[in-house]
Structure 1
């Protein structure tokens, strides 16, 4: 427990992917609620820092450059830089949300007064406190993260993740909000988490024509989104915004949608952080892993077919291990379109 009269200084380490960083914002909300005077820093991997620009509770965002073309050792050189920087900050508390050795080493060498992380981290024996990380039905990732606050006496009721788009982000989103619309984020990093292109096109054909459909994604998703738009054959209704909206502008657009459709992906967590209406499509994974939607108006759609092979893993795969991908193909399009 923190008893110091001076504002305590925290470092929260989350160097995983976009969705993980979004869910980490719930921890920022909870710490701020318990100690509004706390000085909060976050460490993220390079590329994810844009999610936290302008966050009202954050003092600083540290960035770890883990990959660089032509430099195979950048990850370790930059880790050494971070260790020196973190030590100089003299943190009162380091909270490590990662279960991998590099961040465990950083936590151990941080010289923080209190270090807390998950027991599954190979360096957890050197932490001040370690908490078990388990996949249990009904326990969301934000709950698992919040458990790290237990040794500090700061764990309270669940607080939702939250993002803070800038006025400029909202202004850009507003240019697309002239009439009611739905958003579809049809892609993921993993093949087995992604509802098939043909099914997304079928869904669009069932969405009332008075609603504009915005397809969202990264620059690498432009071609897939264009294929969906072509298959849907509704050129006046569907707009391909892949590669045209950054994460925070997409978040602002999600907030004003009649409905948002997303796979088990970062887009799903963007919607949760904006409390935007969400239909989450789970193919090879299941919400019981703790990554389901958190928006007040949200629902999960999965196959109705009992499959012994589902889930085939906690994370997605590059292909269906059995070759049939029935966890995706047997999801009824009618089940998705119902709320709209």
Structure 2
């Protein structure tokens, strides 16, 4: 059986889609599985041991790349094309795929040409399904009814790259997000780290020689450095006031220094990964690392929560009529107060850290 999976959205969406690779392999271990994604995300799957080929759609050369892919897909004669994307371009490709099974979501403008169509509904209902469960609906078209956990496979070179960073116990923090309203504020991360490190009878948490790794893209390096610089300033002030930090520690800015798969390899050894409602939380889940997700403007009911065996969610305890304000977040708080984030107590995150360490 030859199967093509399509997910041309963002990093987190591709990671969640790997759940289907696991389910297909379990049911059909001899199947040839290919995966189509957008240019820029290919490093996530290029060395995936269960995939035959990774197809790349170059969105900058949108239609030229699309028509080349349509030719390639038609020539490949897939038995099934499973489309997780809900936009017209991938719907067109699915419709013209020449596949016996064309499976996707009703929201796709070309779903009229699919052989199997499924609902994809995101709500704020408390017991709404996870995105992995919604995606797995399309597997029914090829006789699969089980839901697997997303999984990534860091290569040996990825593991070799991070060896120098795993000599001591550590946690990872991915403090940034593309969307302002999905990002726990930097001053809140700083307050959390300060409380974690201060020599207080109430916060004897960390072992000696502990490291905090700050993770992110190259564009996140500046904000990560701001966190480190502020903490170092506070450390000097505390020493001047005869206060002491509890442990020998270091904070390391790895933003832009590790690839996504190298970050995943690092997370696999982490005592805990702290992240916003963004791709790093799914990266942590993909290697079953303990993970705590901080939800600001979005809510867990949307179905993008962590899936690791040890998963935690921190969010405001206040009832806010404006939350959630949207599925993807905004560049600024629509109300101007950002209370969904500002009202989260850093002690809530500390309690998670205590329970893990």
Class of the TM-score when normalised by the shorter of the 2 chains: over 0.9
Aligned to 2:35: 42
SS at match of 1:207: helix
Q: Which residue of 2 aligns with 1:91?
A: 78
Are 2:101 and 2:141, in contact at CA under 8 Å, matched by a contact in 1? no
Match for residue 48 of structure 2 among 51, 55, 64: 55
How far 1:327 sits from its partner (Å)?
0.5
Question: Which runs of at least 4 in structure 1 moved beyond 6 Å after TM superposition?
Answer: none
| Deviation per residue, 1:18-40 (Å, 9 max, x gap) | 00000011000000001001100
DSSP 3-state at the match of 1:171: helix
Q: Find the counterpart in structure 2 of residue 222 from structure 1.
A: 221
* 1:238 match: secondary structure: strand
Please tell me whether the aligned partners of residues 169 and 211 of structure 2 are also in contact (alpha carbons under 8 angstroms).
yes
Mapped to 2, the partners of 1:152 and 1:44 lie a distance apart of 21
TM alignment of 1:1-340, pairs within 5 A:
8-67=1-60, 74-136=61-123, 137-156=127-146, 158-208=147-197, 210=208, 211-233=210-232, 237-340=250-353
Deviation sequence 1:143-179 (CA, Å, 0-9, x none): 01111011222112x2100000001111222211111
8 Å contact from structure 1 (residues 198, 231) kept in 2: no
Distance 1:207 1:37 in 2: 49
Question: Which ranges of structure 1 fall in alignment gaps of 5 or more residues?
Answer: 1-7, 68-73
Kindly state the Cα deviation for residue 138 of structure 1 after the two structures are TM-superposed. 3.8
**1:263–1:282 Cα contact (<8 Å) kept:** yes
Q: Which has more radius of gyration? A: 2
Structure with the higher helix share, 1 or 2? 2
Please, what is the CA RMSD of the aligned residues?
Answer: 1.2
Cα shift at 1:237: 1.7
Give the TM-score normalised by structure 2. 0.89
Secondary structure, in 3 states, of the residue corresponding to 1:318?
Answer: coil
Counterparts of 2:15 and 2:144, CA distance in 1: 20
For the residue of structure 2 that corresponds to 1:323, the secondary structure is coil
For normalisation by structure 1, the TM-score amounts to: 0.94
